[in-house]
Amino acid sequence: MNALLGALQDSPLGELVRGAGVWSYGILNAVHVIGLAALFGAIVVLDLRLLGWRAARPLHEVAAGTVPIAAIGLAVAAVTGLAMLSSNARDYVRNPFLLVKFAALAVGLLNLLLLHRSRAWRAVRERRDASSGDRRRLAMGGALSLVAWIATIVAGRLMGYA
């Protein structure tokens, strides 16, 4: 872990960020916030629908209006986050929230991967009526997603204070 953080700090990306002027970290931080706002704002709408909220709206339509925004937000947050971390990665060597954040992020990504490959999601994509088993599977995915992304954001913010 420590070796990984060291390698990240010594990487060309780390050098690029450190050499990009005194405002570079603040600007990366601002774009990171925009990225995670897009990700979380969109994913909350989908997760609540997966949990059954406003079930009259067809799930495939809700997914079509939220998944692309969440994906772009995730990409923006990932790139800016990696850039920020690489500028002073060694400072986080003993930071407990770093581990919590990346564990929660891994759970969020794994959940999304498994959900997208599930039979229940195929029913959504093919616009078929979900069985009650499918609905339970979707609700589980939505709940886990909410918990994982909230934990990722909270632990990520706390990294700066530990």
Contact residues: other proteins, CB under 8 A: 17-19, 22-26, 29, 48, 51-53, 87-88, 91, 136, 139, 142-143, 146-147, 150-151, 154, 157-158, 160-162
Closest CB 39 distance from other proteins, rounded Å = 16
Q: Which is nearer to other proteins, 4 or 126 (CB)?
A: 4
Q: Which is nearer to other proteins, 72 or 103 (CB)?
A: 103
Cα end-to-end distance, the chain, whole Å: 18
Q: Which is nearer to other proteins, 31 or 151 (CB)?
A: 151
Handedness of CA 66, 67, 73, 76 (dihedral sign): negative
What the block records as the tokens of 125 is 């994509």
Tell me the C-alpha to C-alpha distance, in Å, between residue 89 and each of 3, 60, 115, 123.
Answer: 10, 40, 32, 43
Question: Do the Cβ atoms of 86 and 9 come closer than 8 Å?
Answer: yes
Q: What is the dihedral of CA 124, 125, 128, 130, to 10 degrees?
A: -20
Closest CB 135 distance from other proteins, rounded Å = 8
Question: Do the Cβ atoms of 41 and 143 come closer than 8 Å?
Answer: no
Closest CB 160 distance from other proteins, rounded Å = 6
Closest CB 131 distance from other proteins, rounded Å = 14
Q: Which is nearer to other proteins, 68 or 133 (CB)?
A: 133
Q: Which is nearer to other proteins, 24 or 118 (CB)?
A: 24
Closest CB 67 distance from other proteins, rounded Å = 20
**Other residues' Cβ atoms within 10 Å of the Cβ of residue 150:** 14
